[in-house]
A and B are shown apart, each in its own frame.
Chain A
Amino acid sequence: MVEYAAKKALQMFVTVLGVVTLVFFTLRLIPGDAASAMAGDTLSGEALERLRAQLGLDEPLPLQYLGYLQSLALGDLGETITTRIPIADLLFRALPITLSIALATIVVAVLLSIPLGTLAAFMVHKGRRWLDNALTGAAMLIDLMPPFWTALVLLLIFSLGLGWFPASGQLNWNDPGSVALRLALPVIVLSLSQVATLARITRTAVLDVLNEDYVRTARSLGWSELRVLFRHALKNAALPIATVVGLSFGNLLGGTVIVEFIFTIPGVGNLLITGINSRDYQLVQTLIVVYALIFVLINFSTDLIYRALDPRVKF
């Protein structure tokens, strides 16, 4: 196990270093830089060059890269180019918000999709397909709706129409109730597509298991349907489901970018959009490294959970 963890850690290090390098250089391949993004309609010529020098954008690229690696190694995330705010400060505020949304979404999605998917599989197994059909139809419909559109529709209904949730406003952590109200719609938007995916995966996985010999054996022993379903079927179907939940969490981080923008939530996604629009290399590359780290850590823990669920899995 220790050897496994060490091997994994090395893999993680190489992956993150690769991401750092790739992001650093591709960002700079894109035309336009922070200076021209800031200048907009007003600056050109000498004034623009002066600004570029002031922002440190005129230094040779290899020097910038080495400097960046060095500061990362020292745990210094640096400052944004355009606002000179320490990025660690920004992350300290934004990351808990984004992770709360992602975690809440996963919890909601798992709580809804696993019973739904299991039930659908069970009914299909019994020859009653209506729930399965309804589920497949709803899942297709949800997949067709882009999240920004769903977000706006939900805003119109629940915020403007019914007045249940606010469309804007500060996240005041001293008032958890208000934070919950503020984050509810983004979580619903993100959960919708997660539920659709997870329920279908669960349904397929459970259905596969229900046709296995050992389930038939269990049933022939006179066990109740529920016991068969939960003790045997679901437990054995958990493996593929856990993998998908892990992957979903990674994908969710991408989804938060859109909902944070629309619901004006000051999370990491919002920072990322700001960084990209203002070509704030420092901010964007650091955020992407953070995303990569989270992703890698999730994969790592998924692997561990995998092993816990199925001791036969060898590393």
Chain B
Amino acid sequence: MTGKFHKLLGMGMTALVALSMSTAIAPSAMAQEKTLTIRFYDDPAGFDPANIFRIENENIAFNIFSGLTTYDGETGEIVPDLATSWETTDNKTWTFKLREGVQFQKGYGEMTAADVIYSFNRIKDPQTASPYAAELEGIVSMEAPDPYTLIIELDAPNGNFLHTVANYHQGQIVSQKAIEEAADQVRWQPVGTGPYYLDSIDVSSRIVLKRHEDYYKGPAPIETLVFNIIKDEATATIALRNGEVDLMMRANQEENLATLEAAGFTMNSVMDYAVALMVLNTEFEPFADPRVRQAVAHAVDFEAISQAIAPSLQQAYHSMLMPWMAVYTDDIPKYTYDPERAQALLEEAGYPDGFTFKNLSTSAQGVTEVQQFQIDYLSQVGINMEMELVDTPTFNQRRNAGEFDTATRLLPAVNPDMILFSFLHPDNLVPNGLNGARYDNPEVTSLLEAARAEPDADTALDLYTQVQQIVAGDLPYIPMYANNVYWPGKPEVTGVHINYLAQVDFWSVDITE
């Protein structure tokens, strides 16, 4: 018995010694190989730019691909990417000068104007069935007089075309050869010109990206990016605190933020990333009257609500556009908390006793604290807000069909012109587009069209300002609050700049000792 025990003990000791030796050797080998582990919060659904949907997948694609332009991580401004410069005189003919010597990943050769033409044509091709085809519809012709020059002709002037060709969905450049070789597996075999390439995917578990050694700006500091899929935020927080992950993509719980900050993690963030709108269906009778819509805005103290519930994650907001957008103006009507004014407006509009409406919402979140406050505030001026909770796909379907009195929408913070057109132009009334309020004001429509066509920046700004002023008065959408995005990380992880699409260019990220 004792002999056996000693034998076992001996074996255990040998194993321990071997283990400690292997860990002793490991650090020196690790010193050169930098790996960053990031918490990813959803399943990968594929990275073919023509068919990407979820923002999480877009975060990966953003690092695999490049566009002619991209968004600056700190200012949100459009900056050169694959194009070094561009020219236009009338917003209709755009000439891009492309960067020379840009290499595709995995040995697919140099990127030239022909690849750009192929990429855009691929999105436009009905065979691809890309949901982003409409974004490129305005392109009439594309020419490449030489490999580094691209001339794009549009059917109508578009002063915001640089957003269209940015490193986002339809703007991401693919290699024809790689696409043809991957056939129906494009989404799992993406090849781009970005700082990282896709190395492996383990569904429901992790995604691994490796550094693109021939990236045109030079290789990124970190060799390997491991995206660990951890859906539950509480678990993700524990994993970060345990050191299992270095960086946590998207922390959305106020209490977690405070804990992590107190524990010494760097709270990488971007403020005012997007605005949450209350969409008022103007076909629902009371909301047809702008005074009723204004009354709702005056009746709810969004400032106090944000402060009470999520002071880090959101703040009360007043506009459909964000302050960092080029055409934003602050010179618009604003609605401070004023229940008396709300009551007076309701009386003027013929609803002295208020009315009842239903707010469509997802059961995924239940009745949120914001909504509970909203219900309470509105009841004080006689408006009865009832909650209608459905699951997320149902919510999306009904919201897209316009089947609601009110609903919420988070505005995509990309292209100010696209936001205004989609939400205010009558061509985009639901179910054809995103104009869920069914807002149709001929004056706004003509201003929008004129602004898009206007080549002179100052005049265009003036037109966009007028649009924002009229709409803030009409108020088909009530801006409730602006959201902030957090990616808490270990202090030694540096260079995490979240841009206004909530994406991080990992080329600038490093781990310092």
Interface residues in chain A, defined as those with a beta carbon under 8 Å from any beta carbon in chain B:
30-33, 36-48, 50-51, 53-54, 82-85, 90, 93-94, 152, 155-156, 159-160, 163, 166-171, 261-264, 266-267, 270-271, 274, 277-279
A170-B46 contact given A32-B396, A46-B134, CB 8 Å threshold? no
B432 with A31: CB separation less than 8 A: no
B231 with A264: CB separation less than 8 A: yes
B393 with A152: CB separation less than 8 A: no
| Residue B242 at the chain A interface, CB threshold 8 Å | yes
B230 with A168: CB separation less than 8 A: yes
With a cutoff of 8 Å between Cβ atoms, the chain B residues found around residue A47 in the complex are 131-134
CA distance A99 to B392 in the complex (A): 30
B235 with A264: CB separation less than 8 A: yes
A30 with B394: CB separation less than 8 A: yes
CA distance A94 to B131 in the complex (A): 31
Closest B residue by C-beta to A148: B232
CA distance A33 to B400 in the complex (A): 13
CA distance A45 to B397 in the complex (A): 11
A39-B400 contact given A45-B432, A171-B205, CB 8 Å threshold? yes
CA distance A155 to B242 in the complex (A): 11
| Residue B97 at the chain A interface, CB threshold 8 Å | no
B245 with A168: CB separation less than 8 A: yes
B129 with A50: CB separation less than 8 A: yes
A37-B242 contact given A42-B412, A266-B205, CB 8 Å threshold? no
B46, B133, B205 pick with most chain A CB within 10 angstroms: B205
B392 with A261: CB separation less than 8 A: no
A84 with B433: CB separation less than 8 A: no
| Residue B206 at the chain A interface, CB threshold 8 Å | yes
With a cutoff of 8 Å between Cβ atoms, the chain B residues found around residue A278 in the complex are 45
Closest B residue by C-beta to A271: B204
CA distance A94 to B434 in the complex (A): 39
A93, A271, A278 pick with most chain B CB within 10 angstroms: A278
Closest A residue by C-beta to B232: A262
| Residue B262 at the chain A interface, CB threshold 8 Å | no
Q: Is the interface of B mostly helix, strand, loop or mixed?
A: mixed
Q: Min CB distance, A77 to chain B, in Å?
A: 15
A168 with B434: CB separation less than 8 A: no
A50 with B131: CB separation less than 8 A: yes
Interface membership of chain B positions 227-244, coded 1 if the CB is closer than 8 angstroms to chain A and 0 otherwise = 011111011101101101
**In the complex, how many residues of chain B place their beta carbon closer than 8 angstroms to a beta carbon of chain A?**
54
A53 with B129: CB separation less than 8 A: yes
Interface membership of chain B positions 97-118, coded 1 if the CB is closer than 8 angstroms to chain A and 0 otherwise = 0000000000000000000000
A279 with B131: CB separation less than 8 A: no
With a cutoff of 8 Å between Cβ atoms, the chain B residues found around residue A160 in the complex are 238, 241-242
CA distance A156 to B245 in the complex (A): 16
Q: Min CB distance, A275 to chain B, in Å?
A: 10
| Residue B78 at the chain A interface, CB threshold 8 Å | no
Interface membership of chain B positions 266-304, coded 1 if the CB is closer than 8 angstroms to chain A and 0 otherwise = 000000000000000000000000000000000000000
Q: Min CB distance, A147 to chain B, in Å?
A: 13
Which single member of B204, B231, B391 contacts A32 (CB below 8 Å)?
A: B391
30 A-B pairs within 8 Å (CB atoms) are namely A30-B393, A31-B393, A32-B397, A36-B400, A39-B53, A39-B400, A42-B131, A44-B430, A45-B433, A47-B132, A50-B129, A83-B187, A84-B185, A85-B203, A90-B203, A93-B203, A152-B234, A152-B235, A155-B238, A156-B238, A160-B238, A160-B242, A168-B244, A170-B205, A170-B206, A262-B232, A262-B234, A263-B235, A264-B228, A279-B393
A168-B396 contact given A46-B432, A84-B184, A160-B238, CB 8 Å threshold? no
CA distance A114 to B231 in the complex (A): 36
| Residue B54 at the chain A interface, CB threshold 8 Å | yes
With a cutoff of 8 Å between Cβ atoms, the chain B residues found around residue A45 in the complex are 400, 428, 431-433
A38-B53 contact given A155-B235, A168-B235, CB 8 Å threshold? yes
Interface membership of chain B positions 183-226, coded 1 if the CB is closer than 8 angstroms to chain A and 0 otherwise = 01101100000000000001111100000000000000000000
Closest A residue by C-beta to B46: A83
With a cutoff of 8 Å between Cβ atoms, the chain A residues found around residue B400 in the complex are 36, 39, 43-45, 48
With a cutoff of 8 Å between Cβ atoms, the chain A residues found around residue B395 in the complex are 32
